[in-house]
Every structure is written in structure tokens, then in C-alpha cells.
Copies of this chain bind each other. A is one copy, B any other.
Amino acid sequence: MVDAPAQVRPGGRSAKVRAAVHHAVAQLLAEEPAEALTIPAVAARAGVHPTTVYRRWGSAAQLLGDVATSRFSGDVVVPDTGTLAGDLERWLGDVATDLTDPDTLALMRATIGSGPEGGCACIGDRHEQLSAMIERERSRGGRTPEVESAVDFLLGPLYYRAIFSAQPASSDWARELVATFLAASEALA
């Protein structure tokens, strides 16, 4: 995918166009079905000439990937409550809340459908955030579960419900998920 912040000329104009186009993509996906996300439509909504979009992003798939990576990076802050349980509950609750928004889900679905790397773009820095919290607990001396199993049993159910289930997962449910995961990994250790 195309790296956005590596623009050669980040002066006001390029950044403004980029922001407008990103906003237009999110807006269009929130209203129309994903197949209506065409370059001329995005350009018209953004108040930008289609040529600009064609030249900077090339295809709708690359544009979607760019929007997704921007959208799902730096959107959730890693908390520091002092305990791993507190950190995870707070963090996964925030992630779940984020996934409650139908427009966010629409962006995720469209990005997944845009190509094989679409899913990875939607994860953003979730794995690093999770790893950071677990690593911090480990440096505090606590016995921690593996990052891999945390991904499987925390992000797995959450994103599965978001994508494959009709009703999205609530923040409270995410917190319960953390509790049962920690209890189970403690019981099996």
C-alpha cells in the first residue's frame, strides 16, 4: 500500500486534498454500497478533480488501504492502569466501542474486500499495542499470557462478531472477554 506521510511536499495543499479525499471515502462508504466507491464519485464528493485521485492513489483499492491504515492507526491509546487486567479491559473496551460504529464497519468491510492485504490494513497497530501492554506487565514481573494467544482469544472473537455476526460486540462484552481470557490462561498455566 502507499505510505501516506511520506509525501514529498506536505505543504498545506497536498495535506488538504488528502484529508478531503479520505473524508469523502468514509462519507461515501457510510451512505452508499461499496461498489459505488468509484474514483470520480470520491473526487466529486471531496471537491477535487478525479485526475488528482487517479494520480495520487491509482486505484480504489489502494485508496481504501490508505484510508484504512490512517483510520485504524493512532485511534486508540494504550492505557496504563497499573495492572494487565485493567489495561486490557480498558483497551479492548475502546476497540469494541470503535467497532460499534456502522460507518467504521463499512470501511472495514470494504477494505477487506479490496484485496488480500486489506485485512492487515484494518488491524493497524493493534498487535503492537497488545504486545506493549503484555510486555509491560512482564517487565513488572507478572506472569503473562502469550501475545499470540491474546490476539487469538481477544481480537479474534471481537472482530469475528464485528464482521460475521449481525449484532456488533459491546464494550461491556469486551471487558468480560478479557476477564475470562485472563482467568483461563491463569488456570491453564
Contacts and interface: CB of A to CB of B under 8 A. Distances in A.
A12 interface: no
Copies of this chain in the oligomer: 2
Contacts of A187: 184, 187-188
Interface of A: 33-35, 59-61, 105-106, 109-116, 118-120, 122-123, 149, 151-153, 155-161, 163-166, 177, 180, 183-185, 187-188
Given A159-B160, A160-B155, A164-B159, A109 B116 contact: yes
Contacts of A61: 33, 35
Contacts of A161: 152, 156
Contacts of A119: 109, 163-165
Contacts of A33: 61, 114-115
Contacts of A115: 33-34, 109
Contacts of A155: 160, 164
Contacts of A177: 152
A17 B141 CA distance: 64
Nearest to A177: B152
A163 B35 contact: no
